[in-house]
C-alpha cells in the first residue's frame, strides 16, 4: 500500500455461513464460544470505562487541590492496570482482544468527557450482545480464498484454552461483484485489513464486519462539473448536471409507497391484535416477534434501495466526469419532512453516497437547498407559484416548463447556489419594500 497518502476506511458486512476449523466443530459449539467471548467483551468494556472514570475523577480532584496535573506516568500506569484487569476478566479471549477492548472503552470515555463533566451525559455503559472486537494485525484476523470460497479466521481464545482460532466460511454466494472485488483487494494486500467485529443480528445469525482501508483516490475528475441530487416529492431522487441537460430519474415512487403502505397496514393489524392479548413474559415476546420481523424487513428493503440508488447516482456522475456531487443537507431534509424517502433514515443514504463517492474520487457537498424547488433554473425567478404540483414546474416569468424535481436538481447542481439564492431573496425583499414605500397617487 502506498505510504504517505490519506487513507479511507470502510466496512463490509458478511454473514458467517458455517464453521470449518477446528475440524468437526459444530455451530452449537462455535456459537457458544462466540457468546462467551461477547459476554466477556461487555464485562471488559464496562470495567475499563468505570475504572477510567474513577481515574479522571481523581485527576480532577488532584488539580483542584494542588493546581497541578498528575504525573504523566500515572496515566500510563493506570492504563496498564486496567488492561491487566480486563485481561483477567476475559478468560476466553485473546490478549490482543483485551487490549482492543481497553482502548475502545477509554477512547469512548475521552470523547464523552466534556459532556460528562457538564452533566449533559452519564458515564457510558455497554449492554449484552455487544460485537466482539478483533484487533487489526498481530494475527487476530485473517481473510483468504480457498477454491473460490472466502474464509475468515478470528483468534477468539488465549493459548491456554482450545481452540485458539475459529475459521468460518463466509456467505458470499449472493454478494455483489463490486464487494467481491473489494475482498480480493484486501486479500491481495492492495487494501489494508483493519479491526473487525463479530456480532449477532436480531434473528440470532452471526456476521462479521470486515474493516479495510485504502488510499484516497486522487481527484482526477473535473471539479467544475457538478451533479445535483434532489430527494424529490414525486421521485425518490432526481439528478442533473450543471454543464448540460443530461438527467437521471428514479421512477420507483409507486414501488416505495406501496411497500410503505403494506408495512404500515400489517403493523397496524399486529398492534390491533395485541390490544386483546393478555400474554405476559415469554408469551408476549412471542407475540411481538412478528413486529420485529416486520421492522427488519423494512430495514432490509430500505438498505437495498439505498444501495441501488446511490450506485446509480455515482455511475451517472462518473459518466459526466463530475468531480463534485451536491445534495441537500440532513438538517434541511429533516426540517421539510417531505419526499418519497421521508420517515426513512436519510443519514444512511448520505453515508452510503459518501463512501461510494470516496471510492470513485468524487467530492460530496451538503448544501442548504431552500428555495431550489421554487427557483426557475432557466431565468432565476423565485416564486412559490412556480411549483404547479409535486411533479410540474412552470415559471411565471419566462414560461419554462419541466419536471419539478428535475428543476430542483438543476438548481442544486449549480456551484454556489446558496449564495445566489440568498442574494436573489435579499434583492427581491428590497424591491418589495421599495414598492410598498412608493406613494399611491
What pLDDT does residue 288 have? 66
- SS3 (DSSP) at 127: coil
- State the pLDDT at residue 278: 57
Cis bond upstream, residue 289 (ω within 30): no
Angstrom distance (rounded) from CA 415 to CA 242: 8
Give the integer Cα–Cα distance in Å for 381 and 379: 6
Classify the C-alpha dihedral 277-279-283-289 as positive or negative.
positive
Strand segments (E) across 216-302? 222-230, 238-241, 247-249
d(CA 387, CA 371): 11
CB burial string 68-89: b at 16+ within 10 A, e below: eebeeeeeeebbeebbebbbeb
For the beta carbon of residue 168, count every other beta carbon within 10 angstroms.
25
pLDDT at 427: 83
DSSP state of 153: E
How far apart, in whole angstroms, are the C-alpha atoms of residue 38 and residue 40?
A: 5
The shares of helix, strand and coil residues in the chain, as percent rounded to the nearest 5, are 45, 20, 30
The C-alpha atoms of residue 249 and residue 436 are separated, in whole angstroms, by 42
> For residues 109 and 41, what is the distance between their CA atoms, to the nearest angstrom?
16
Query: Which pLDDT tens digits describe the chain residue by residue (441 residues)?
Result: 555 567 778 888 999 999 998 888 899 989 988 998 999 999 999 999 999 999 999 999 998 898 888 888 899 999 999 999 999 898 877 778 888 999 999 999 999 888 888 888 899 999 998 999 988 766 778 899 988 899 999 887 755 556 678 899 999 888 888 888 889 999 998 888 988 999 998 888 999 999 888 887 665 678 889 999 988 777 888 999 998 889 998 887 778 778 877 877 887 777 777 665 555 555 556 666 677 777 778 888 888 888 888 999 999 999 998 999 999 887 665 555 566 666 667 788 888 898 888 888 889 999 888 888 889 998 888 888 888 887 889 999 899 999 988 999 999 999 999 999 888 888 877 555 445 554 443
Give the cell for residue 441.
397617487
Under 8 Å between Cβ of 125 and 49: yes
Tell me the whole-structure pTM to 2 decimals: 0.59
Specify the residue for cell string 478483533. Answer: 134
C-alpha–C-alpha distance, residues 46 and 109, integer Å: 11
387 DSSP 8-state letter: B
Amino acid at each position: 500500500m502506498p505510504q504517505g497518502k490519506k487513507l479511507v476506511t470502510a466496512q463490509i458486512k458478511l454473514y458467517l455461513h458455517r464453521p470449518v476449523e477446528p475440524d468437526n466443530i459444530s455451530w452449537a459449539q462455535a456459537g457458544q464460544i462466540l457468546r462467551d467471548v461477547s459476554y466477556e467483551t461487555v464485562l471488559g468494556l464496562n470495567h475499563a470505562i468505570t475504572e477510567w472514570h474513577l481515574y479522571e475523577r481523581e485527576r480532577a480532584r488532584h488539580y483542584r487541590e494542588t493546581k497541578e496535573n498528575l504525573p504523566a506516568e500515572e496515566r500510563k500506569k493506570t492504563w496498564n492496570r486496567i488492561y491487566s484487569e480486563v485481561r483477567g476478566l476475559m478468560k476466553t479471549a485473546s490478549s490482543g482482544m483485551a487490549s482492543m477492548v481497553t482502548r475502545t472503552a477509554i477512547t469512548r470515555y475521552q470523547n464523552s468527557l466534556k459532556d460528562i463533566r457538564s452533566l449533559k451525559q452519564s458515564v457510558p455503559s455497554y449492554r449484552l450482545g455487544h460485537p466482539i472486537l478483533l484487533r487489526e494485525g498481530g494475527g487476530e484476523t485473517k481473510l483468504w480464498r480457498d477454491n473460490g470460497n472466502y474464509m475468515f479466521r478470528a483468534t477468539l481464545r488465549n493459548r491456554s484454552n482450545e481452540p485458539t482460532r475459529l475459521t468460518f466460511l463466509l456467505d458470499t454466494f449472493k454478494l455483489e461483484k463490486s464487494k467481491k472485488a473489494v475482498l480480493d483487494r484486501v486479500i491481495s494486500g492492495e487494501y489494508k485489513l483493519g479491526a473487525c467485529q463479530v456480532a449477532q443480528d436480531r434473528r440470532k445469525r452471526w456476521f462479521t464486519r470486515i474493516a479495510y482501508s485504502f488510499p484516497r483516490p486522487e481527484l482526477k475528475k473535473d471539479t467544475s462539473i457538478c451533479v445535483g441530487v434532489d430527494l424529490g416529492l414525486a421521485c425518490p431522487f432526481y439528478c442533473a448536471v450543471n454543464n448540460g441537460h443530461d438527467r437521471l430519474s428514479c421512477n420507483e415512487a409507486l414501488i416505495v409507497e406501496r411497500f410503505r403502505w403494506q408495512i404500515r397496514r400489517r403493523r397496524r393489524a399486529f398492534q390491533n391484535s395485541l390490544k386483546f392479548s393478555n400474554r405476559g413474559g415469554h408469551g408476549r415476546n412471542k407475540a411481538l416477534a412478528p413486529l420485529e420481523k416486520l421492522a427488519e424487513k423494512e430495514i432490509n428493503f430500505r438498505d437495498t434501495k439505498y444501495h441501488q440508488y446511490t450506485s446509480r447516482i455515482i455511475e451517472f456522475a462518473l459518466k459526466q466526469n463530475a468531480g463534485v456531487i451536491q445534495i441537500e443537507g440532513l438538517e434541511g431534509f429533516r426540517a421539510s419532512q417531505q419526499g418519497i424517502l421521508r420517515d426513512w433514515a436519510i443519514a444512511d443514504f448520505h453515508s452510503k453516497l459518501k463512501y461510494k463517492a470516496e471510492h470513485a474520487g468524487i467530492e460530496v457537498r451538503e448544501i442548504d437547498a431552500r428555495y431550489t424547488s421554487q427557483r426557475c433554473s432557466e431565468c432565476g425567478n423565485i416564486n412559490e407559484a412556480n411549483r404547479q404540483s409535486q411533479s410540474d414546474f412552470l415559471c411565471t416569468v419566462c414560461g419554462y416548463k419541466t419536471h419539478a424535481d428535475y428543476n430542483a436538481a438543476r438548481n442544486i447542481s449549480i456551484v454556489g447556489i446558496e449564495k445566489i439564492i440568498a442574494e436573489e431573496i435579499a434583492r427581491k425583499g428590497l424591491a418589495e419594500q421599495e414598492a410598498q414605500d412608493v406613494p399611491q397617487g
